[in-house]
Amino acid sequence: MKFFVTGGAGFIGSNFIFYMEKKHPEYEIICLDKLTYAGNLATLAPVMEKQNFKFVRVDIADREAVSSIFEVEKPDVVVNFAAESHVDRSIEDPGVFLQTNVIGTQVLLDACRKYGIRRYHQVSTDEVYGDLPLDRPDLFFTEQTPLHTSSPYSASKASADLLCNAYHRTYGLPITISRCSNNYGPYQFPEKLIPLMIANALADKPLPVYGQGLNVRDWLYVEDHCAAIDLILEQEEIGQVYNIGGHNEMRNIDIVKLICKALDKPEGLITYVTDRKGHDMRYAIDPTFIHEKLGWLPETKFEDGIQKTIQWYLDHRDWWEEIVSGAYQTYYERMYGNR
């Protein structure tokens, strides 16, 4: 079985490659990644020399390049993680989000049509459902919740989902889609809430909390997300959407305070800054369907996962210190300088 894993040099994609290498050592995995600011080849060092692994640097929106790789390699399965993934960057500059997340997905779908595929899996997000009000804790996103996006990022991800459905219905392409809640764990780029707060706290820098920090996210340890995708790929039914989440809702401010406590840093570092434009209030996944259909349940409790994650960032300073010292500085200044 030959897998294309696009975006495998990023956070979830790399964790997925490690998960699959361990669980299915008989599979051949080819990682396709453009290596944008968020992609890091060093992350893939543990698998780089393996016989059954190959890395190809390519932009998924480059039709010709993608087509030639499909022609040569003829993959059985494509799992598409490749995306521009940061909401704040999409608010600053939506263009590249449409290019990669929408056009890139279409290019991959076209290649799958042309060369044939056993499965195309689209890694989507709970953000396609928009948000839920804080005063209705009884409401959750199900697979039937209408798409109702807020940011250019979520609009681009929802567009990609719609294209996948269209290629399934119109051309019979064997697609599946998963919509996961917020992930955390090793190798997450330090622009995202949890690694950003860990890195800043370790440097005794201000911890920029948007608005009042009352927004709620539903956190899932990245390995549990990978296990869910693996299960989805193993089952035969196509055209199906699966929501993935572990009922672990937390307010941003509580996460930041927890990180301060774990690192023995003063809460005085917390700085309330101007809110994100169009900031979604609450995400909350109802994972009943994937649980009942595939028996999936998250294995890592948040208390354990967050400790493991903090320890990972303490043990792998080289990995993220290099990132935060480079071009990321310019981004940070632009994004947080006048907030």
Nearest CB to ligand NAD, comparing residues 14 and 269: 14
Q: From residue 65 to residue 104, what is the string marking binding to ligand NAD with x (rule CB under 6 A)?
A: ----------------xxxxx--------------x---x
List all residues 6 or more positions away from 259 whose beta carbon is below 8 Å from its beta carbon.
194, 197, 198, 201, 207, 265, 306, 310
Q: Beta strand 175-180 with 119-125: parallel, antiparallel or unpaired?
A: parallel
Close Cβ partners of 140 (under 8 Å, ≥ 6 residues apart): 132, 284, 285, 286
| 153 is a catalytic site residue | yes
Shortest separation between residue 327's beta carbon and ligand NAD, angstroms: 14
Residue 127 annotated to the active site: yes
Q: Classify residue 238 as exposed, middle or buried by CB count within 10 Å of its CB (0-12, 13-18, 19+).
A: middle
Q: Of 84, 127, 161, 191, which residue is the catalytic one?
A: 127
Taking residues 97 to 126 in sequence order and writing x for each that binds ligand NAD by CB under 6 A, - otherwise, the string is: ---x---x------------------x-x-
Our CA angle for 133, 248, 312, nearest 5°, is 130
Q: How far apart are the first and last CA of the chain?
A: 49
CA distance 38 to 40: 7
* φ/ψ of residue 209, rounded to 5: -95, 125
User: For ligand NAD, which stretch binds (CB under 6 A), given 31-39, 130-138, 260-268, 301-309?
Assistant: 31-39
Q: How far is the CB of 160 from ligand NAD (least distance, A)?
A: 8
Considering only 154, 183, 248, 300, the residue that binds ligand NAD (CB under 6 A) is 183
- Cα distance between residue 272 and residue 268, in whole Å: 11
DSSP letter for 102, please.
I
Smallest gap, in angstroms, from Cβ of residue 215 to ligand TDX?
A: 4
Q: Which of 189, 221, 283, 313 binds ligand NAD (CB under 6 A)?
A: 189
Interface map 122-161 toward ligand NAD (x if CB under 6 A): -x-x-------------------------------x----
Return the number of the residue (16 or 70) whose C-beta is nearest ligand TDX.
Answer: 16
Question: Is 126 labeled as catalytic in the residue annotation?
Answer: yes
Task: Name the minimum Å distance from CB 331 to ligand TDX.
Answer: 11
Q: Where does this chain bind ligand TDX (CB under 6 A)?
A: 85-87, 125, 127, 182, 192-193, 196, 208-210, 215, 217, 252, 276
CA dihedral over 323, 325, 327, 332, signed as positive or negative: positive
CA–CA separation, 213 and 281 (whole Å):
10
Catalytically active residues, by annotation: 126-127, 153
Residues in the site for ligand NAD, rule: CB under 6 A?
Answer: 6-7, 9-13, 33-36, 38-39, 59-61, 81-85, 100, 104, 123, 125, 157, 180, 182-183, 189
